[in-house]
Amino acid sequence: MRVVGGAWRGRPLQAPAGRGTRPTSDKVREAAFDVLGALPEARAAVAALGAEPSEAEPAADGSGAPAGALAGHHVLDLFAGSGALGIEALSRGAAACTFVEAAPLALRALRGNLERLSVPILRPTAAAGSAEHEAPTPRAVVLGADVRRALAADARRHARYTLVFADPPYDLYEQVRPALARLLGRVLVSGAVLVVESAAGTAAGLPWTVVREKRYGDTRVTFLVAGAASAAEGESAD
């Protein structure tokens, strides 16, 4: 595994040991980020948070992808595993990413990947996922918790995200989908973009607008945009 674009293009990523985690392949990750980079909705979401996206310039690393294509985004990487999706977003200019992962082996790999890239790992605060107090370098929060508990805690902190990745185990997607539908809306800015991975035969089935849908072998990647009512949706964060 490696970072496929942006400032850290080509840097290796460690996958968790064992078979409990299914990392997104480099090919699928590259294709998904190509779609994200071309989505006007992704740029609009940053403006909704209050950050000003900068004009993308050609990458200095020869990747062909714009440097800072995701500039200003505050990212949430659910079922993060090795952190490859969130790290890819940081490499492409995202300001911050909150990684949520419960498995100890995956957490170890995730933290190791961030440390090797010299990404500061901060404690979650009320400012997590906000445009205030921007740091000069990309930063990370790592939550070693079940996705339901992590989303509830973020809602209590009033965290808000412009870009969300959700890549649960394919065989568990139907079990976690109701929780995603109930809880995610409380932490999304209006117009936030969601990228959901599922088995090719499984629709995302979430209450937001599908703007793109791609299939890569046995993987379906669905791109959704949250509406203005998202922040009021979802169950209470108890």
Pick the CATH number of 26-50+67-232 from 3.40.250.10, 3.20.20.140, 3.40.50.150, 3.10.450.50: 3.40.50.150
pLDDT of residue 130: 53
Whether 158 has a pLDDT exceeding 50, the answer reads yes
- Tens of pLDDT, residue by residue over 29-73, are 999 999 999 999 998 888 877 654 444 444 434 434 444 779 999
Distance, CA of 48 to CA of 74 (rounded, Å): 11
- pLDDT higher than threshold 60 for residue 120: yes
The pTM for the full model equals 0.86
Share of the chain above pLDDT 90, in %: 69
Judge whether residue 123 has pLDDT over 60.
yes
pLDDT at 3 over 70: yes
**Which position has the higher pLDDT, 21 or 28?**
28
Name the band, by pLDDT with cuts 50, 70 and 90, for residue 18: low
Average pLDDT over residues 212-219: 93
pLDDT band at 237 (very low <50, low <70, confident <90, very high): very low
Higher pLDDT, 22 or 218: 218
pLDDT confidence of 113, banded at 50, 70, 90? very high
